[in-house]
Chain A
Amino acid sequence: MKLQSCQNCWFNGLQYGALGLPVGYCSRHQKILNIADGTTCGLHLRKDLTVLRAKEVSEIHKKHYSAEYVSRIVDGKHHVNDVSDSENDITHLRKDSVADAVTDYGELGSTIESLAQLKAMPGARAELAMLSLGRGYINNCISKNGKWTSGLHLYWWSRRRLTEIPEIKVENLRSVGATQLSRQSDLTAWSLIMLRLTFIDDMTIYANQQNDPLGKVKSLTEQAALALDSFNLRALSKWLNSEAAPQLDARLSVARYAELANELHAEREGAAAQQCTPADSANAAPLS
């Protein structure tokens, strides 16, 4: 498991650990990733860490790899066959509905629409893509002095499904690694729930920076790690229901969500809101 590889990067919405398609897709370089477990680049942000730690690690990583191209981890060089943007390959990839939305992301002026599309799709892979690309979207809005509420709807969608255990179907797995199939499914479900919590931690960090009450919620990823000493999905579900959800709801209730959503809507109507354009969020933005 190479944690600095493209499979573990925010900008690859198609893969995370054992979950995903045989190929990845980089929304920054707009390339199909043929060997995402063996490649990286200087823009890499680790999916398995919360935003501040991911950025800390990325500062070191980018000293060793170019941001301009996808390179092999072992030698830092670009190998032509590691990636593809040929029309045939993209067309083939787009036959998968999640991959279709992921490749649309940022290309057609539809970042938030693509994320909404992913939210509406069933399945673990769609959720992975929404969370992974969503983190990049919000981080970019924040780096452009945007409000934490730029991710309000994404937060709310994640909160609503927070306590559900995702179903990992056999066709969702890229490999079973060193474990039995059923155990790999459980560990993969666990990793997806942790990605939800990581996304929510990111949101509480941004909210805290802007003095919103949601920012008072202490890191749920750390709380979960201290409360649970085995990878038992039933115990995790119980903890999410009894501990995590009430903390979040105490800071951001349905009523407050509706109020903030109305404010956002009013600001956009008045063209006063800072909005993230697709070019900002997917292509041209610096990662601060």
Chain B
Amino acid sequence: MITSNGAVWETLVKVAKEESIGHISRTELLSLMKGNGKGNAKWLNPFEVMQARRYVEQWGEHLLDFRKVESPAEATKKIFSRS
């Protein structure tokens, strides 16, 4: 993560999980993003799903899932450290 002052902040999946933050791996994303998308990746436009799938593979993307976290701002402060 890059902030407005140009600093790079980093975390690990293991650290995020300790704060009950979910992790959606690259493999899981790739499996969900086919056709119109499956489950939480369902989307009206299949082309946009395909573009997103390409980005996951091309740039090695994966996601932290804050949906079940009570205070995402607090959790973010806790898990990220300046590199």
In the assembled complex, which residues on chain A have CB atoms less than 8 Å from the CB atom of B57?
178-179, 187, 231
In the assembled complex, which residues on chain B have CB atoms less than 8 Å from the CB atom of A75?
4
Q: Contact: B58 with A178, CB < 8 Å?
A: yes
Q: Contact: B58 with A224, CB < 8 Å?
A: no
CB distance from B47 to the nearest CB of A (A): 4
Q: Is A12 an interface residue (CB 8 A)?
A: no
In the assembled complex, which residues on chain B have CB atoms less than 8 Å from the CB atom of A194?
47, 50-51
Q: Contact: A222 with B45, CB < 8 Å?
A: yes
CB distance from B23 to the nearest CB of A (A): 17
Instruction: Supply 20 A–B pairs (Cβ within 8 Å), ascending by A.
Output: A1-B59, A17-B58, A18-B58, A49-B51, A177-B59, A177-B60, A178-B58, A178-B59, A179-B57, A179-B60, A187-B57, A187-B58, A194-B47, A221-B47, A222-B45, A222-B47, A224-B50, A225-B46, A225-B49, A226-B36
Q: Give 13 A-B pairs besides A74-B4, A75-B4 with Cβ atoms closer than 8 angstroms.
A: A48-B51, A74-B2, A178-B57, A178-B60, A179-B57, A184-B58, A222-B46, A225-B35, A225-B46, A226-B36, A229-B35, A231-B54, A231-B57
Complex Cα gap A222–B43 (Å): 12
Binding site secondary structure of chain A: loop
| A interface size (C-beta, 8 A) | 28
In the assembled complex, which residues on chain B have CB atoms less than 8 Å from the CB atom of A50?
47
Q: Contact: B4 with A229, CB < 8 Å?
A: no
> Can you name the residue of chain B whose Cβ is closest to the Cβ of A18?
B58
Q: Is A69 an interface residue (CB 8 A)?
A: no
Q: Is B48 an interface residue (CB 8 A)?
A: yes
In the assembled complex, which residues on chain B have CB atoms less than 8 Å from the CB atom of A191?
54
Q: What string of 1s and 0s marks CB contacts (under 8 Å) between B41-68 and chain A?
A: 0000111111100110111110000000
